[in-house]
Amino acid sequence: MLEFIVNNIYFILTALAAAAACIILAKRGQIAKIRDIILALCVDAEIVYGSKTGEIKKASVLEAVYRLLPAWAKLIIPASELSKLVEEGKRRMDELAGSNRRVMALIYSSLPCPDTGEEAEDTTQ
């Protein structure tokens, strides 16, 4: 067995490097898709749960992401990284809402106003 390994060490190292490269590239591609999915899930959670429910929204988004991920992705993308991606998705959602009144109205128009408790009006029209 040792002789086989010694005789084929270059082939074995090349195969390991190729496998590692495939995993890294697949992870990068998957992360880009996951970012977009998380942004959409953050918007949905904001609409469904409203304000002052941050932990519930985050848990909801994480649960949905775990349901959507293929099994192999769950093995190579740690939960801590997914949690960071959810935080990033929340920041992206806030940036989009802050830069575009229509997006802000879409996300926040169904939420009650903090002062009155009534639904916010769409002021974009």
The predicted-structure confidence for 63-92, as pLDDT tens digits, reads as follows: 888 888 878 777 877 889 889 999 999 899
The predicted-structure confidence for 21-40, as pLDDT tens digits, reads as follows: 777 766 777 778 888 888 88
Q: pTM for the full model? A: 0.64
Helix (H, G, I), strand (E, B) or coil at 33: helix
Collect all residues with Cβ–Cβ distance below 8 Å to 51 and sequence separation of at least 6: 111, 114
Q: Where are the domains of the chain?
A: 27-108
- 44 CB neighbour count, 10 Å cutoff: 15
Give the CA angle between residues 14, 17, 20 to the nearest 5°. Answer: 150
Collect all residues with Cβ–Cβ distance below 8 Å to 84 and sequence separation of at least 6: none
Two tokens, residue 39:
């942004």
